[in-house]
Structure 1
Amino acid sequence: MKYHFITVEGNIGAGKTTLTHLLAKHFNARIVLEEFADNPFLAKFYENPQQYAFPVELFFMAERYKQLKDMLHTKDLFQNITISDYLFTKCLLFAKVNLPEEEFRLYQKFYDIIHQQMTLPDILIYLHAPIKKLQENIKKRNRSYEQSIPDAYLFHLQETYTSYIKQHNIKTIFIDASNADFLGNPKHLRVVLDALEKDYDSGQHYFTLP
């Protein structure tokens, strides 16, 4: 296995956590999952974004930093692969979408200090799904505070993610997840596993699912 730190990313409802679980099981890897349920501001943010955007993003950044730092700096003799369902840069991307300009500049100062201490993944797996598919998945998993997320918000996040990945030329396995069913269709998981067996130059490398 060429990659020892793999990150799975994508928009809300793209299937990040499902794929992360399946990959971790296949590779007997350590797993790092976003602990969104512990954020006391999240439900309030969806009800009143203007009031709660800054504390929700600050809490997420602190939790992600602690979680990744603890995991990546603690060696495990029996598991030499770590798979995460979020990129630390997600902090900055969501803040850019959710915060007004002055608050974003303040947030970015904190982020810049912390980001220097983080380990970048060896490769990023990005799941790209159309907004309709994202909304179907959001409805299916039935988290009450997510049920009224507008299409425009998901589209804005999508644009922010893809723009960041392209601008920074990140080594990325970019998967069209329009019809993704990693749990129900073994061929879909096989596409990802086969992709991880190859070496890549920096940039995006595109795959479709059968």
Structure 2
Amino acid sequence: MSKRAKYEMKPFTVLVEGNIGSGKTTFLNYFKKYENVCVMAEPIDMWRNCGGHNLLEYMYEDRERWGFTFQSYVQLTMLKQHTLKTRLPIKLMERSIYSARYCFVEKMHRDGILPSPSASVINEWFKWTIANVDTSVDLIIYLRTTPDVVYQRMQERNRKEEKTVSLTYLTEMHEMHENWLYHKTMFTCPAPVLVLNADLDKSVIAEEYERVEPHIFSNCLSVLAS
């Protein structure tokens, strides 16, 4: 099998994870300058238009009514991201099927927004998917932030669907990400985790991104040579 064929079958896959407002889009935009990197943003446009329905807006307005519908669709759209083929050797994904299940679905279940039967349906689909579909990843970049910082950023970008998101919710989601990716006390990590200080201002955050580059490009070459 040629090296090019190896790339086409399975690129070096990196998940970019973090709280709302942690700078995932800024991170992805930084790596768009590299021709050998496939950058995949979170499929927000699909969530805003599922057969003409803005499921993202519905979910924020009434999480108890639309939580199951929204998370079911998130799981499908993230699976499409995982399985999307690319000829490029590196694939960067904003969030994943794992954070959808381990952070967002889990939080909704713990809050009672997703009743146990609904959470069980999503979980059974999740378990079947990761057992039968190649959703493997090679590296996780955790953009670690503090809730106050992401709350301020969220206010500044002023997305209409996020107007109801509180600092309390962001703090709770921060803890979900911390327990999964930093303390590693909740669930398992599907790949090694590299933690970045994403509280830094945009004017200096590029230095953190540069620190990531060897982990992505060197590891990619190692996988290619194996």
Do they fold alike, i.e. is TM over 0.5? yes
Gaps of 5+ in 1: 200-210
Aligned equivalent of 1:83: 92
Task: Normalising by structure 1, report the TM-score.
Answer: 0.81
Matched, 1:10 2:15: no
Using the TM superposition, give the Cα deviation of residue 144 of structure 1 relative to its aligned residue in structure 2, in angstroms.
Answer: 0.7
Structure 2 distance, partners of 1:135, 1:145, is 14
Any conservation in 1 of the 2:196–2:208 contact (CA below 8 Å)? no
Structure 2 distance, partners of 1:191, 1:138, is 21
Equivalent in 127, 130, 137 of residue 121 of structure 1: 137
* Structure 1, 126-135 or 35-44: larger mean CA deviation: 35-44
Structure 1 residues 191 and 60, CA gap change in structure 2 (3 angstroms): same
Counterparts in 2 of 1:56-135, with a 5 A limit?
A: 56-69=70-83, 71=84, 74-76=85-87, 79-92=88-101, 93-98=103-108, 99-116=114-131, 117-135=133-151
Q: Comparing both structures, which one devotes a greater share of its residues to helix?
A: 2
Any conservation in 1 of the 2:37–2:92 contact (CA below 8 Å)? yes
Structure 1 distance, partners of 2:24, 2:45, is 16
Count matched residues.
188
Q: Match of 2:92, SS?
A: strand
Counterparts in 2 of 1:1-210, with a 5 A limit?
A: 4-26=12-34, 28-39=36-47, 40-69=54-83, 71=84, 74-76=85-87, 79-92=88-101, 93-98=103-108, 99-116=114-131, 117-165=133-181, 166-167=184-185, 168=188, 170-181=191-202, 184-185=203-204, 188-198=205-215
Using the TM superposition, give the Cα deviation of residue 50 of structure 1 relative to its aligned residue in structure 2, in angstroms.
Answer: 0.5
CA RMSD of aligned residues (A): 2.0
